[in-house]
């Protein structure tokens, strides 16, 4: 069953944590709350002020966490962490004390290449069990497993990209021997 964003009325998937049209936080799956909506994040305010911004490009990277999916459109980056004033997806990590307020940044360039950078988190960021050095970006590939701290793991789903036209050639392959 599709959901509708309360802020802009755009259709969103049931497991999305944010609206990728306006950037509004969506209620977490299974949560019932009579509380007023959270105040706008820094990114939401930026998107509202920028008149040139149309709909955000289709998501090319999906991180499937147990608390919901996080999607990152091409040409953008997204901070993962528990601080709602910094992270659009803070609700996904609110119950995990070992996730830092500003834990890691996931980026996808215009060509669809994804990476993750640890933001000097307390408990570390890991890709396939290997620790990401603080401040260093590590390339992500489809099927990787990202772990924030000790117990929040998410699967990386990255659609196969078209080959780079610059790498294609009409010249036959020649053996260098």
The string of pLDDT tens digits covering residues 28-42 is 655 555 556 666 666
Q: Rounded to an integer, what distance in angstroms lies between the CA atom of residue 31 and that of residue 158?
A: 28
Q: Rounded to an integer, what distance in angstroms lies between the CA atom of residue 45 and that of residue 7?
A: 13
Residue 123 lies in a domain: yes
Q: Position of tokens 């996808």?
A: 108
Q: What is the CATH number of the domain that holds 69?
A: 2.60.200.20
pLDDT at 118: 95
Mean pLDDT of 112-138: 94
Band of residue 104 on the pLDDT scale cut at 50, 70, 90: very high
In the predicted structure, residue 91 carries a pLDDT above the cut 70: yes
- Provide the token pair at 92: 């996904």
- Provide the token pair at 118: 């640890």
Band of residue 51 on the pLDDT scale cut at 50, 70, 90: very low
CA torsion 165→171→175→177, rounded to 10°? -110
Which structural domain, as residue segments, surrounds residue 110?
A: 3-161
Residue 167 lies in a domain: no
Residue 11 lies in a domain: yes
Entry pTM: 0.59
Band of residue 102 on the pLDDT scale cut at 50, 70, 90: very high
Band of residue 56 on the pLDDT scale cut at 50, 70, 90: very low
How many Cα atoms occupy the beta-carbon half-sphere of 37 within 13 Å?
A: 11
Residue 137 lies in a domain: yes
Residue 54 lies in a domain: yes
Q: Which long-range contacts (CB under 8 A, 24 or more apart) does 120-124 make?
A: 121/148, 121/149, 122/98, 122/149, 123/98, 123/99, 123/148, 123/149, 123/150, 124/149
Mean pLDDT of 87-110: 90
Give the number of domains in the chain.
1
In the predicted structure, residue 141 carries a pLDDT above the cut 60: yes
Q: Tell me the per-residue pLDDT of 145-162, one tens digit each, with 9 for 90 and over.
A: 999 998 899 999 987 655
Regarding predicted confidence, which is higher, 106 or 46? 106
Element holding 16 (H helix, E strand)? none
Residue 177 lies in a domain: no
In the predicted structure, residue 57 carries a pLDDT above the cut 90: no
Band of residue 170 on the pLDDT scale cut at 50, 70, 90: low
Mean pLDDT of 53-70: 73
């Amino acid at each position: 069953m599709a959901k509708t964003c309360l802020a802009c009325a755009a259709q969103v998937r049931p497991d999305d944590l944010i609206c990728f049209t306006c950037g509004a936080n969506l209620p977490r799956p299974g949560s019932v709350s009579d509380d007023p909506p959270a105040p706008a994040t820094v990114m939401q305010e930026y998107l509202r002020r920028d008149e040139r911004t149309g709909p955000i490009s289709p998501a090319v990277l999906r991180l499937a966490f147990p608390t919901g999916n996080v999607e990152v459109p091409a040409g953008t980056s997204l901070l993962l962490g528990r601080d709602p004033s910094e992270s659009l997806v803070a609700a996904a990590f609110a119950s995990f004390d070992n996730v830092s307020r500003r834990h890691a940044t996931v980026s996808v360039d215009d060509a669809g290449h994804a990476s993750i950078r640890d933001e000097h988190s307390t408990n570390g960021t890991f890709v396939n069990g290997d620790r990401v050095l603080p401040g260093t970006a590590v390339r992500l590939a489809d099927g990787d497993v990202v772990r924030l701290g000790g117990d929040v793991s998410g699967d990386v789903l990255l659609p196969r990209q078209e080959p780079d036209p610059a790498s294609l050639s009409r010249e036959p392959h020649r053996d260098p021997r």
